[in-house]
Structure 1
């Protein structure tokens, strides 16, 4: 099973058919993805489930429905066990961005965290989940596939929000602050925190 978010509502990719309650089932092979996105954005529907009999083909078939944008990001932890957050578009988020040129996904993740926050001395400690969400750019829907990595740093310098990317704040948040920030964040980020 996979979750692809349209804002904070999930499209669930599954091979299991369940009786509809607060969601709708569609066949993955024949679904009109634009209709599904509109439905999630304009109705009280809580989720949509796209069904395919072969669980191994769910994601591959879904990703062919819209153009893909591959990105990398980081959940950065300092020596005080605080997590690095950015504030963009009036929401708390983790730093991330698109792959450039021939860089690896790890290189993308490290570069984007540094560019968006000013934090240096980053070291990847492990891979985290891959998240999926649908966004609209220039009137067209796309699927962002974000590869996340846990990172650590001993950085003690000044945090610098990348303002030309719409980032207005960068902060280290302790556990209590993270819980509060999740009230104003994205579903994908809540999965990682």
Structure 2
């Protein structure tokens, strides 16, 4: 199942509708024509009372491909970084929200390379180590007249060094600090739903 965030609302793409459907779903759509899918998404976006919607098809990879076709697709990578004791994790404030380091993939760059580069650039720390991949998050937004679907591939990392992190100001990052693991729940109130998904995967909340 794929979870696509429309700000704080969610569209689920699934091939197991009987298992994944929640009690509070607002709308459900069986994948058909492109026009029907466009209409379903437009209706979901305009009806803000609906917090969740489900789209299903027997092949979820084909479903994601068809869904992607309605958007301009951007690929990015990012990291969740522990300190060497795994008692704190690195957080930043960007455009008034708490966030994790991430950025667009460059030409001929792997997701792993991009994640390591973005962490180093945005946080001012060198040689973080990847522990494991955390999978992707997906969110949509509007950029002028284009609808964007952004996929971020995330990696859990550890930083063994002692350098103090410094924010990359040109990326609108105003503050970086090490957040105690036991304060992860406070982070939820000031960040994006897709970031909460990553915090849950690493056990920070």
Q: Same fold (TM over 0.5)?
A: yes
RMSD: 2.1
Aligned pair in 2 of structure 1 residues 67, 182: CA closer, same or farther (>3 Å)? same
Aligned pair in 2 of structure 1 residues 42, 175: CA closer, same or farther (>3 Å)? same
**Which stretch shifts more, 161-170 or 16-25?**
16-25
Per the alignment, in what secondary structure is the counterpart of residue 176 of structure 2? strand
Q: 2:195 aligns with which of 186, 189, 193?
A: 189
Residue pair 2:89, 2:178 contacting (<8 A) in 1 also: yes
Alignment of 1:106-121 (within 5 A): 106-121=112-127
Aligned pair in 2 of structure 1 residues 183, 34: CA closer, same or farther (>3 Å)? farther
Q: Report the Cα distance in structure 2 between the residues aligned to 1:140 and 1:35, rounded to whole angstroms.
A: 18
Spell out, residue by residue over 1:70-126, the C-alpha distance to the aligned partner (whole angstroms, 9 max, x if none): 101001111131111111122111100001111111111011111111111211111
Residue pair 1:92, 1:181 contacting (<8 A) in 2 also: yes
* Residue matched to 2:66: 61
TM-score (norm 1): 0.89
Aligned pair in 2 of structure 1 residues 78, 21: CA closer, same or farther (>3 Å)? closer
> Where in structure 1 do 4 or more consecutive aligned residues deviate above 6 Å?
none
How many residues align? The count is 193
Q: Report the Cα distance in structure 1 between the residues aligned to 2:135 and 2:22, rounded to whole angstroms.
A: 29
* Residue matched to 2:202: none
* Residue matched to 1:177: 183
Aligned pair in 2 of structure 1 residues 37, 106: CA closer, same or farther (>3 Å)? farther
Indicate yes or no: 2:15 matched with 1:25.
Answer: no
| 1:141 to partner: Cα distance | 1.1
Per the alignment, in what secondary structure is the counterpart of residue 184 of structure 2? helix
Spell out, residue by residue over 1:1-27, the C-alpha distance to the aligned partner (whole angstroms, 9 max, x if none): 110101121111123265985411123
Alignment of 1:1-193 (within 5 A): 1-15=1-15, 16=17, 21-30=24-33, 31-33=36-38, 36=41, 39-40=44-45, 43-81=48-86, 82-193=88-199
Aligned pair in 2 of structure 1 residues 163, 37: CA closer, same or farther (>3 Å)? farther
Residue pair 1:6, 1:37 contacting (<8 A) in 2 also: no
Unaligned runs of 5+ in 1: none
